[in-house]
Structure 1
Amino acid sequence: MADGPTGRSWWGWGNESEQLGDEECAALGALLPGLREHPVPVPDIRRLDLPTPRLAPPGALAELVSADPALRAAHTYGKAFRDVVRVLAGEMAAAPDLVALPRREADVVDLLDWASRENVAVVPFGGGSSVVGGVEYREGDHAGVLSLDLTRLDRVLEVDRESRAARIQAGAFGPALEAQLRPHGYTLRHFPQSFEFSTLGGWLATRAGGHYATGHTHIDDFVESMRVVAPSGVHESWRLPGSGAGPSPDRLFLGSEGALGVITEAWLRVQERPAHKASASVLFDDFPAALRAVRTLAQSGLNPANCRLLDPGEAMLGGAGDGSSSVLVLGFESAGQPVDALLEQALDLVRGHGGRVRTGGGAGGRPAADRGDGSAARPAADPAGAWRSAFLRMPYLRDAMTRMGAVVETFETALTWDRAPELIEAVRTGLGRAVEEITGRPGILNCRLTHVYPDGCAPYFTVIAAGRVGAQRAMWDEIKAAAGEILVRHRATITHHHAVGRDHRTWYDRQRPELFADVLRSAKSSLDPAGILNPGVLVD
């Protein structure tokens, strides 16, 4: 794993050094009745029972391919709750036979040619941070499985100052991408929660959503053109600021999740780095009133960079509140102009819906120190900063609770404003009952809005419940199925930014028009005639 971020955890989220120790896991688990007294041990990567590789690459490709057991183990799953559960149980039968680490686009072409000839399934792999089963092989009649790791293709190749755009290879991790843009005074300004542990190619392939709540929320908004290698040939679109020439060729590959081709590079719109930031937090006693306030903001044209509404439970979980009120985290930023006036306009709007501006910490338009991930250093007492720190820390806490036998996972969606209050209430009541029936105990069910638009919002739900080691995955699958049915019933998307992968296929198949499914199958047949690319994703 030397070509990716150093110190990565092979079995769980993020950095190995930031995972909680056994005593910390036990202390955290004691907060939720019904869990184990001691955490399940993490398997020794050197003693895993991996299947014997079924493949041997031709000599010309041998230096690009490895059968190293540790490398194969680290490329078996993504980083979802059910992935962590399987690793802790030592379930590694799905490990790829080989891992390829191409150094240039021509290597990708050669690897796909070989795989097509030999009926080898190819699973494109960036940072491996998928939480929907997007980077694992589950079933099929292929001769073997190759995990195609793009992280050696990690450079900013070109910067066009006149057009303010950059040509970037798909294997670049978020921090490396930003570090290469920084000397030019630019930023991509796309910061998903997985920023540190995911790549540009992964963002493009899954239509990732960034940290910013309005404006350019998805990676789609930054794309000028893309270059994609498919088994049938290389696709490259023209660089254009916009075009009305038929359906967009890039739209075919944005969100294709490695099923239609391997993204190798893209031209992206970049921006000047922000120099002015201002933030504040607002309390609401009534969650429906808070929803109306956020809708008013989303439709005001003010476009705050951050407009995240936390229900009382989510606010308390993240250290932004005491559990008695909902909390709205607001923030503005600009590269050239102070943003104090924008923040004050926004605060005036939310006061009209019963919001109480919390004083102290974080407000004010003074220049802020940018840490490269879209955040700015803030006082410890700032609720917005406290919540954001907890937000980035949450996956590590999830892993710790998983080791204690808990069921801890999230799901997200999006829908129009007219249906949002009803959906949120349906999830709270209906899924709350399902969690208790499935686990035998009441669970914790929190909600926040991650992104807001003039016509709708993206609710994001956290589920925490006492499970049983050995039954956690089955319990979550039942809870997830119940959640999916609620979303479908309210015609809410099965995913706003987590992608489809394999875990969402059941509901994605029901959401998309059947004629569109036929079009996707035809596209896959043309681009991937042998059916080797990420089998089971998007279409059969």
Structure 2
Amino acid sequence: MAGTTPQPPTSRTRSWWGWGWSDAHPDDAECAAMGALIPGTLARPLPVPRVRDLHVGAPAVEAPQSLAHLVSTDPADRAAHSMGKAYRDVVRALRGRPGRIPDLVARPVDDRGVADLLDWAGERAVAVVPYGGGSSVTGGVEYRGDAHRAVLSLDLTAMGRVLEVDVEGRAARIQAGTLGPSLEDQLRPHGLTLRHFPQSFEFSTLGGWLATRAGGHYATGRTHIDDFVQSLRVVTPAGTSSSWRLPASGAGPSPDRMFLGSEGALGVITEAWVRLQERPRHKASASVTFADFRDGLRAVRALAQSDLSPANCRLLDAGEAALAGAGHDGRSVLVLGFESADEPVTARLERALDLARSHGGRTGTRPGGATVYGPGDGGSGDGGSGDGGSGAGPGDAAVGAWRAAFLRMPYLRDGLARMGAVAETFETAATWDRLPGLIDAVRTEVGEAALKATGHPAMVNCRLTHAYPDGAAPYFTVLAAGRPGDEVALWDELKAVAGEVLHRHRATITHHHAVGRDHRPGYDRQRPEPFTLALRAAKGALDPHGILNPGVLID
């Protein structure tokens, strides 16, 4: 079946320096009110940065006439493509220090354009940084260093169409630059959904999810984009790789696996066949509270090892629950949700609640019938997705509060950054036997490091975002006073402490945020040396001029 034309873009404007929409950021008064809750922050918020204050210089190169129609040199366009959306990126923009601004921003409309741009860049020693929605939080879409004469940001969002839909096989061929909401809008007339909703859903692309092995809203089962991939098409300087569309194959190492998570270092993902599903019609959600966070951990482990397969199974510690407005009595909160396209899920939810109660959980009134855990038709959240659900059912205010806070949190983080506070997150995954000690060590050691560095206590919260039979993914939030003018260095210090804790406990440097440049030290230690040799050889073969996203994954 032929594909669908994407809807016209919204008239709202993206923030060049911070998360999301420019008109959704907290105003000065709200920033000041938030800052007052964290001792040691600034008296008034830093001003919203302006592109004209950056004094963006002239490009170091000019595109040839044959490619000029694909290229922009507009200073605002270039500034918006200079960084991702991590806390350190936001602070650098606020302080007027965004780093290396790309010389050119290119927007190809097809594979031929991508290949021509790569050919030209290779001949001219121009670094090429693939760019989807720009929501990277690990330094994945910026250039650091001076080894290349110029930098081109390769924006794929002009390639934003669903090209083919196989309704019978429940799959679609989709261009990599398709943003999350547009992707779902184009699939909706067919009654199908990809149902992959990372927190960045509204501002990220299919290609970005594939290149970073992004985690989605399913807390169990199909947690990563990997689980939805049938085949990939990737343009590299050495040629185009197009794998067969297959339900499964045992024919040697998978070519798709080489490019999933490659972060633009080996090639540019331009399209993919992905597995779809029918849109869910039956949904139910509820919350459970625990006096002891470790009881909650045991409950989540039991749920992950059962056959219930909850779509949402997020455990928030007391601090995280209070921050989200999901709990204020010092108890941890477990947010549970189930969904199905063909059968009611209330019975599964009731069984899950029974299991949680057997581990010390306390439930309130009867669970509601409409789940509210995530974006579905336009929001975002690692916590899952409803699909136009009308809201939480009776007694489920905690679920609704958590979702609302989750969707708003990135904007609030930027507001706290304007107050000079450290407000950032990091995530990992570890086996169940290591998890309690890991979480305790992160809370203690990162908190102590923040106190030593600033003289003020920090808040270090934790929630579980994804759960597996053999382990889970803890996600940490750090809120602390900053060092005025030196906030980035302070966060780097705290992140280094966290990295040491993760390494000591053999926890991954990232479960779903990618490696980028910020996680390179941890990834280099985690990666086996024989694999390093193979990755280096692949990089040399596919990118002989070393132009593709230099600095990510490997030198």
| TM tier, smaller | over 0.9
The aligned residue for residue 50 of structure 1 is: 56
* 1:435 Cα offset (Å): 1.4
Number of residue-to-residue matches in the alignment: 538
Matches within 5 A, 1:361-400: 362-363=368-369, 371=377, 374-375=385-386, 376-379=389-392, 382-400=397-415
Residue 231 of structure 1 aligns with an amino acid whose one-letter code is: P
How far apart, in 1, do the equivalents of 2:390 and 2:298 lie? 30
The aligned residue for residue 519 of structure 1 is: 534
Matches within 5 A, 1:283-322: 283-322=289-328
Query: Which of 422, 425, 431 matches 2:440?
Result: 425
C-alpha distance 488-269 of structure 1, shift in aligned 2 (>3 A): same
C-alpha distance 192-176 of structure 1, shift in aligned 2 (>3 A): same
Query: Which of 159, 163, 177 matches 2:165?
Result: 159
Residue 415 of structure 1 aligns with an amino acid whose one-letter code is: A
C-alpha distance 379-296 of structure 1, shift in aligned 2 (>3 A): closer
The aligned residue for residue 504 of structure 1 is: 519
Question: Residue 156 of structure 1 contacts residue 168 of structure 1 at CA under 8 Å; is this kept in 2?
Answer: yes
The aligned residue for residue 5 of structure 2 is: none
The aligned residue for residue 342 of structure 2 is: 336
What residue ranges of structure 1 are gaps of 5+ in the alignment?
Answer: none
- Does residue 533 in structure 1 map to residue 548 in structure 2? yes
What residue ranges of structure 2 are gaps of 5+ in the alignment?
Answer: 1-7, 380-384
- Does residue 268 in structure 1 map to residue 283 in structure 2? no
How far apart, in 1, do the equivalents of 2:143 and 2:74 lie? 18
How far apart, in 1, do the equivalents of 2:297 and 2:367 lie? 24
Moved more, 51-60 or 39-48: 39-48
How far apart, in 1, do the equivalents of 2:461 and 2:85 lie? 21
* SS of residue paired to 1:53: coil
Residue 95 of structure 1 aligns with an amino acid whose one-letter code is: I
* 1:273 Cα offset (Å): 0.2
The aligned residue for residue 139 of structure 1 is: 145
Residue 473 of structure 2 aligns with an amino acid whose one-letter code is: A
* 1:379 Cα offset (Å): 4.0
* 1:24 Cα offset (Å): 1.2
Query: Which of 347, 350, 354 matches 2:356?
Result: 350
Question: Residue 311 of structure 1 contacts residue 325 of structure 1 at CA under 8 Å; is this kept in 2?
Answer: yes
- Give % identity: 67
Matches within 5 A, 1:64-213: 64-213=70-219
The aligned residue for residue 402 of structure 1 is: 417
How far apart, in 1, do the equivalents of 2:210 and 2:98 lie? 28
* 1:141 Cα offset (Å): 1.5
How far apart, in 2, do the equivalents of 1:286 and 1:223 lie? 39
Question: Residue 125 of structure 2 contacts residue 547 of structure 2 at CA under 8 Å; is this kept in 1?
Answer: yes
* 1:361 Cα offset (Å): 6.2
* SS of residue paired to 1:60: coil
Moved more, 66-75 or 380-389: 380-389
Residue 35 of structure 1 aligns with an amino acid whose one-letter code is: T
* 1:163 Cα offset (Å): 1.1
C-alpha distance 370-64 of structure 1, shift in aligned 2 (>3 A): closer
Give the structure-1-normalised TM-score. Answer: 0.97
C-alpha distance 112-39 of structure 1, shift in aligned 2 (>3 A): same
* 1:377 Cα offset (Å): 3.0
The aligned residue for residue 28 of structure 1 is: 34
C-alpha distance 3-534 of structure 1, shift in aligned 2 (>3 A): farther
Give the structure-2-normalised TM-score. Answer: 0.95
How far apart, in 2, do the equivalents of 1:4 and 1:60 lie? 30
C-alpha distance 280-438 of structure 1, shift in aligned 2 (>3 A): same
* 1:440 Cα offset (Å): 1.5
The aligned residue for residue 489 of structure 2 is: 474
How far apart, in 1, do the equivalents of 2:532 and 2:95 lie? 36
* 1:206 Cα offset (Å): 0.1
* 1:287 Cα offset (Å): 0.9
C-alpha distance 532-424 of structure 1, shift in aligned 2 (>3 A): same
C-alpha distance 430-369 of structure 1, shift in aligned 2 (>3 A): closer
